Amino acid sequence: MATRRALHFVFKIGNRKATADFYRNILGMKVLRHEEFEEGCKATCNGPYDGKWSKTMIGYGPEDNHFVCELTYNYGVSHYEQGNDFLGLYIECSEAIERAKANGYPVKEEGDYTVLEAPGGYKFYIINKSMPKDRDPVQQVVLASSDLERSVKYWRDLAGLKLYSEENGKATLGFADSQAKLVLQSIGGPVNHAKAFGRIAFAAPGADLPGIEKKMKEADQTIITPYISLDTPGKATVQVVILGDPDGHEICFVGDEGFRELSQVDPKGESLLDEAMEKDKSDEWFAKKGGKASA
C-alpha cells in the first residue's frame, strides 16, 4: 500500500486566535492554506454543524510529504467537551520546548517527553531533539482503543495499514516507513469521543476508494459518508469516503490525485487566516448575548 499515505488529523477549535498563536509561535508550524465557508461541509469536515466555519491547514511542510493538522473553527462555538479518544501527537522538535519556555507557556514533563497542551486541551508530546530538516518532524498520532486486537484487525486487514509493532498495549501502524504512524493504545475501557472528536485522513489512488468502501460494507463496518465527490470552488474536485472504526474513530480516505492539487500550499494562507480573525466579531456579538455556546 505504498501508494497510500497519511495526511492529517482534524481538530475542532474554539479560540481561534489563541490556537493560531500556539501552532505558529510555540510549535513553529506554518499555515499551509486557509478557507472560509458559509455552510457546513457535506462530508461533515467541521462536525455536525450547519453554519459558517473555517478550515486552516497548518504544519511543518506541504501535505505531499508531511503529516499536518486541520483546524476547524465553527463560528459561535467557544469550547468542545473532550473525551478520551485522542491521546496525543508526537513531534520531534526541541525548538518548540525552547519557545514555550521563552514565552511562559505551560510545560510539563511526562516520562521521556515534554508535553505542551494546545488551547482546547489537545496534547502534543515533544521529543527533545532538534527538528529534522530531511524528514517530517511529526512522528505519530495516538488514538485510544477499547480492544486492541479488534482494532488491529480493522486497521491492518480492512483499512490496509502495515502493522509495525504491537507491544505494551500499543500497536503501531502505517503505510510507509517515512510517514507518520498511527498508534492505537489500549485504554482498558470504552472510547468516549464527546464533542471534540476529530478525524484522521489518508490519501489513496482515486480508483481505490470504491473498493475500500465495498470492503467495509462486506465486513459490515460503519460507513459515515458513502463515496462522494466534493467540489471546492476554483479548485480540484476530490473523491471522499468516510469510515468509522470499531471504536468510532472517523477515518477519511480521499482520492490522491485531486487532493494533491487541492492541498498545494497557498502563499496567502497566513494572511488569509489573519484577515479572517481580524474580521471575526463573533466574540463581541456573543458576549452581548451571554457568551458563545460550548459543545
Q: How confident is the model at residue 248 (pLDDT cuts 50, 70, 90)?
A: very high
In a domain, 294, yes or no: no
Instruction: Let me know if residue 250 belongs to a domain.
Output: yes
Residue 35 domain boundaries: 5-289
**Confidence class of residue 103 from pLDDT cuts 50, 70 and 90?**
very high
pLDDT tens digits, one per residue of 154-176: 999 999 999 999 999 999 999 99
Q: What value does the mean pLDDT take over residues 95-104?
A: 97
pLDDT (tens digit per residue) in 35-70: 999 887 777 777 888 889 999 999 999 999 999 999
Q: What is the CATH number of the domain that holds 20?
A: 3.10.180.10
Evaluate if residue 289 carries a pLDDT over 60: no
Q: State residue 236's pLDDT score.
A: 76
- Residue pLDDT, tens place only, 62-74: 999 999 999 999 9
Residue 295 lies in a domain: no
Q: Are strands 138-145 and 181-186 parallel, antiparallel or unpaired?
A: parallel
CA distance 190 to 171: 17
In DSSP notation, the chain reads -TT-EEEEEEEEES-HHHHHHIIIIIS--EEEEEEEESS--TT-TT-S--S-EEEEEEESS-TTT--EEEEEEETTEEE----SSEEEEEEE-HHHHHHHHHTT---EEETTEEEEE-TTS-EEEEESSPPPSSS-SEEEEEEEES-HHHHHIIIIIIS--EEEEEETTEEEEES-TTSPEEEEEE-SS----TTT--EEEEEE-GGGHHHHHHHHHHTT-EEEEEEEEEE-TTS-EEEEEEEE-TT--EEEEEEHHHHHHHT---TTHHHHHHHHHHH--HHHHHHHTT-PEE-
Q: Report yes or no on 74 lying in a domain.
A: yes
Is the residue at 204 inside a domain? yes
Total tally of structural domains belonging to the chain: 1
The answer to whether position 98 is within a domain reads yes
Mean pLDDT for the stretch of residues 111-118: 96
The mean per-residue pLDDT over the stretch 116-142 comes to 96
Rounded Cα distance, 225 and 43, in Å: 6
Task: Determine the average pLDDT of the residues in 25-42.
Answer: 92
DSSP 125-173: EEESSPPPSSS-SEEEEEEEES-HHHHHIIIIIIS--EEEEEETTEEEE
Residue 62, domain member (yes or no): yes
Alpha-carbon gap, residue 28 to 96, rounded angstroms: 7
Mean pLDDT of the chain: 93
Average pLDDT over residues 251-272: 95
Whether the full predicted model's pTM is greater than 0.85, yes or no, is yes
pLDDT in the model for residue 233: 66
Grid-cell match 476530490, residue found = 238
Residue 43 lies inside a defined structural domain of this protein: yes
